[in-house]
Structure 1
Amino acid sequence: MSDIYQHFRKEEQPFIDQALEWKRIVQEQYRMKLTDFLDPREQVIAASVIGQADSVGLALFGGYDGAERKRALLYPDYANPEETDFGLQAFEVHYPEKFVSIDHRSLLGSLMGIGLKRQKFGDLVFAESAVQLIVTAETADFVAGQLTQAGKAKVNLEKISLSDLQIPARDVEIRDDTVSSLRLDAVCASMSRQSRQKALTLVKNGLVKVNWKVVEDPSYQLAEGDMLSIRGFGRSSLTKIEGKTKKDKWRVTFEKQK
């Protein structure tokens, strides 16, 4: 068992233990196990730890193709999961848009403000003509009753089907590069296309987040699936780490949200 942990960060051990417990439940009780929403890094860990063993399958779904946050469904090998098994409910947010506006930050803050844990809701969708969100089905009624304001806007929620989600076209830049190491400062330098010294300053000044948490240690080791937010340079995900080159550099792929 300890061999599993050596491939991950120490702070990820509790999540690994949780994923292994989910797997045990499916193996011993022969039933599906549905998780809350997982961020991209947690999805990578779950896929690695649970894998596609002979007795347990793993499926991920967040309401639409390309969703960032997804629920994981573990199931016995004889089962055939369907979309309804993921327990998702979508809402459209109605508000007086002629007078006020809603942005991602205000909606996220309002959802957290009603006492909803981040794991209970998925992506917030901002299309040209609609603001929508996805939550776990078990919290849907609570959210509909409690979320009455987002920022300065009075809001009310209308349940919609997942097929009615208005997903804007993804505007991303996918870039392959090589980095001298997987240290945070080295990867930040590549992502922001700055010198290593300037990236180091950003990290030490608390302007860099890894998986939504500020990390001020330049030597912090990044891993596949990590999401980075660099103040002034937007968000990028480290989607692939493909080994080393002959010059001992890491081949990596970034996906930056424009």
Structure 2
Amino acid sequence: MSIYEHFRQEEHGFIDQVLQWKEDVLHQYSPKLTDFLDPREQQIVTAIVGTEGEVQVSFDGGQPFAERKRALLYPDYYVPESEDFQLHMYELNYPKKFVTIEHPQVLGSAMSLGLRRSKFGDILVAGDDIQLVAAEEISSYIEMNLTSIGKAKVSLSSIQREQLHVVKEELIEHVYTVSSMRLDVLLSTIHNLSRQKVQPFIANGAVKVNFKVIEQPSFECHEGDILSLRGHGRSRIVSLEGKTKKEKWRIVVGKQK
């Protein structure tokens, strides 16, 4: 059985990359550090590398509940340390009394510097405190160039990982019955919207599955998938509980508070 059979077609390119990372570690006898990976990518790396064998993998995003993490693939004799993940943590300084800055603005300004999203980890917002985790190799560049967000002047102060806010996403589980696992059907049910209202969101790129924009209403979702609908939050398909007598799926979904 091919390893690709366990994954979606659009994930095969990333799988090839992970297999190459694993091969590099095997032949070079040295660790391989990746950029920041989203949770789905972390799942794929774990599935391919496994927990036993000549190559091991660890993840670090700066704090225990980090969503985006760098992966370190290494030979089984190697003992990884936090420094191996080359993370740089920042506190954002700005005139808090006069300006409100939100997560999308921080991300937009960071991306406008011409850097890939994969060079940034989590953006942590706790009240008006904003923290940013980035790859060490871009730290000097963003310190020099991230000087404003919107109309607000900002600066970055380096902090230690112990100073990062612990932000844990809380999901409340709900049980739904759906006619199919189509993306539009699921979003309609989870968010109590008509499919006619949901479909334009999908067509306009406002929907992601496993952190990737999906523009097909008929996209088939699976157990474990993370769905996000702009303006309505995020949900995760926790489990499929089987079919009812009327051949509908009974599913458990975790929704953001």
TM-score using structure 2 length: 0.88
Q: Distance in 1 between matches of 2:125 and 2:209?
A: 23
The one-character-per-residue Cα deviations of 1:46-94 (angstroms, maximum 9, x if unpaired) are 1122222311112122111111111111111122222222111100000
Q: Distance in 2 between matches of 1:167 and 1:211?
A: 23
3-state SS in 1 of match to 2:216? coil
Corresponding residue for residue 131 of structure 2 = 132
| Residues 100/60 of structure 1: CA separation in 2 closer, same or farther (3 Å cut) | same
Q: Which amino acid aligns with 2:183?
A: L
Q: Distance in 1 between matches of 2:23 and 2:244?
A: 41
Corresponding residue for residue 148 of structure 1 = 147
Contact 2:25 2:75 in 1 (8 A): yes
Corresponding residue for residue 22 of structure 1 = 21
1:82 aligns with 2:81: yes
Corresponding residue for residue 215 of structure 1 = 214
| Residues 76/149 of structure 1: CA separation in 2 closer, same or farther (3 Å cut) | same
Corresponding residue for residue 120 of structure 1 = 119
1:158 aligns with 2:157: yes
Contact 2:244 2:250 in 1 (8 A): no
Q: Distance in 1 between matches of 2:77 and 2:244?
A: 45
Count of aligned pairs between the two proteins = 256
Contact 2:38 2:211 in 1 (8 A): no
Q: Distance in 2 between matches of 1:220 and 1:6?
A: 17
Query: 1:205: how far off?
Result: 5.7
Q: Which amino acid aligns with 2:209?
A: V
Q: Distance in 2 between matches of 1:244 and 1:202?
A: 28
| Residues 15/205 of structure 1: CA separation in 2 closer, same or farther (3 Å cut) | closer
Q: Distance in 2 between matches of 1:176 and 1:65?
A: 28
Q: Distance in 1 between matches of 2:71 and 2:251?
A: 26
Query: 1:206: how far off?
Result: 4.8
| Residues 84/202 of structure 1: CA separation in 2 closer, same or farther (3 Å cut) | same
Contact 2:210 2:225 in 1 (8 A): yes
Corresponding residue for residue 175 of structure 1 = 174
Q: Distance in 1 between matches of 2:50 and 2:6?
A: 14
Q: Which amino acid aligns with 1:58?
A: V
Contact 1:59 1:73 in 2 (8 A): yes
TM-score using structure 1 length: 0.87
Corresponding residue for residue 54 of structure 1 = 53
Corresponding residue for residue 65 of structure 2 = 66
Corresponding residue for residue 91 of structure 2 = 92
The one-character-per-residue Cα deviations of 1:112-166 (angstroms, maximum 9, x if unpaired) are 0111210000110111251100001111111111110111110110000111012
> Quick check: 240-249 or 101-110, which moved more?
240-249
Contact 1:180 1:250 in 2 (8 A): yes
Query: 1:101: how far off?
Result: 1.8
Long gaps (5+) in structure 1 = none
Give the RMSD, CA atoms, in angstroms: 2.5
| Residues 82/249 of structure 1: CA separation in 2 closer, same or farther (3 Å cut) | farther
3-state SS in 2 of match to 1:44? helix
Query: 1:17: how far off?
Result: 0.4
Long gaps (5+) in structure 2 = none
> Quick check: 101-110 or 166-175, which moved more?
166-175
> Quick check: 92-101 or 204-213, which moved more?
204-213
> Quick check: 194-203 or 88-97, which moved more?
194-203
| Residues 123/253 of structure 1: CA separation in 2 closer, same or farther (3 Å cut) | farther
